[in-house]
Structure 1
Amino acid sequence: MLKLYFAKGSSALASHLLLEEVGADYTAHEISIQSGAHKEGAYRAINPKMRVPALETAEGIITENPAILNYVAATHPASGVLPDTSFGRAQADAFNAYLCATMHVAFAHKLRGARWADTEQAREDMAAKVPANLRDCAQLIEAHYLKGPWILGDQYTTCDAYMILVPQWLSKAGVDINEFPKLAAHRDALMSRPATQTVMAAHDL
């Protein structure tokens, strides 16, 4: 059985969603960021980065959403969430890397500015840029990467599970997702799926 370590409302939502979507045999263990549980020894032994998600497997621990998503997809081939071709898998990896390394980091500047800046003024300047930066990311996805109805076209993949975070980031930054009709339609399609509804409830969303 797999064990997912998550915090409610965190980026672990994406990995949690894919586990539910593919029907994985897993349990979910909440790590309270608010209480500092992610910094305590028990969790640091699982993930020394002190972040979520982390996935415990029979072979060891996997961290970072892109890696967890790929592992879950690869170990549940009947689910069809992993593209069939090498090029398709590379496309999925490229998109997921963009969400991880660019859009998530752009959002993190709103709440986690202390990671990059020491002065209050610098952190305020970073936070002020978040809505514009997220709009740029959303527009790029809207124009070039949402082939529809899912990210890579007709097939629901790891990319679509990761996309569950985008409406959350936009909303928290005060950006109306309805500025981007394709993204709004994708969100609605995701929210209509039973797995999404189950996981959103588990995260109190």
Structure 2
Amino acid sequence: MLTLYFSKGSSALAAHILLHEVGASFESCEVPIASGAQKAPEYIAINPKGRLPALRTGAGIITENPAILEFIAAQHPKAGLLPETTFQQAQARSLCAYLCSTVHVAFAHGKRAARWADDPAAQKAMQARVRPNLLDCAEMLEQNLMQGEWALGDHYSYCDPYLFLVGRWMAAHDLSLDPFPALETHAQAMLRRPATQIALEAHGLS
């Protein structure tokens, strides 16, 4: 049995979607960021980073979305969501690394600027860069990193739930996917999948 530790509206949505997509047997445990529950001793014992998501497996705890998503896909091979060749697998890791280290960080500078600077002026400057940085990221994805209807081409993979978060991160800063037709088409295709709808409901989202 897997246990997904998540906070509603957080990037844990990607793992939540994928777990439903592969038909995994799992439990979910809400750790509300709004109340600071991710810093409570009980959760720090699970993930010392104090971040979400985390996935409890029979072998131990996995953290960080790229690792969690790849693990879920690898543990459910019949779903066919893990790329077949070594090169394709590296491409999947590369895309997820970009989403994690660049796009998500650009978004996080909005509400989490205090992670990187104590000076209010510096925080304000970072916050002012969120919208242009997210637009730059969307352009990079649109023009260079998306490879077809889905993130890696013609077939849905474990990268797609993570890519789906880009539109939500942008919407949180009043940015539209309209100038990015490939990303918009992808977002709409994701919304048509039952697993996405189930996970969105669990997060209290639409």
TM-score with structure 1 setting the length: 0.98
The amino acid across from 2:192 in the alignment is: S
CA distance in 2, matches of 1:116, 1:33: 19
Structure 1 match to 2:45: 45
Structure 2 match to 1:109: 109
Structure 2 match to 1:82: 82
Task: Provide the secondary structure at the position in 1 that maps to 2:138.
Answer: helix
8 Å CA contact retained: 2:39, 2:50:
yes
Q: Could you list the per-position Cα deviations for residues 141-169 of structure 1 after superposition, in whole angstroms to 9, with x for gaps in the alignment?
A: 10112222101111111110111211111
Q: Which runs of 4+ in 1 moved over 3 A?
A: none
The amino acid across from 1:90 in the alignment is: A
8 Å CA contact retained: 1:81, 1:157:
yes
Structure 2 match to 1:170: 170
The amino acid across from 1:169 in the alignment is: W
Which residues in structure 2 correspond to 1:1-205 (within 5 Å)? Answer: 1-205=1-205
Q: What is the RMSD computed on CA atoms of the aligned residues?
A: 0.7
How far is 1:172 from its partner? 0.9
Total equivalences in the alignment: 205
8 Å CA contact retained: 2:164, 2:186:
no
Task: Provide the secondary structure at the position in 2 that maps to 1:5.
Answer: strand
How far is 1:17 from its partner? 0.9
Task: Provide the secondary structure at the position in 2 that maps to 1:27.
Answer: strand
- Does 88-97 or 37-46 show the bigger shift? 37-46
8 Å CA contact retained: 1:31, 1:38:
yes
Identity over aligned pairs, percent = 54
The amino acid across from 1:181 in the alignment is: P
How far is 1:136 from its partner? 0.5
8 Å CA contact retained: 1:13, 1:164:
no
TM-score with structure 2 setting the length: 0.98
The amino acid across from 1:150 in the alignment is: W
CA distance in 1, matches of 2:68, 2:190: 19
Q: Could you list the per-position Cα deviations for residues 24-46 of structure 1 after superposition, in whole angstroms to 9, with x for gaps in the alignment?
A: 11011100111111111111110
CA distance in 2, matches of 1:148, 1:189: 12
How far is 1:5 from its partner? 0.2
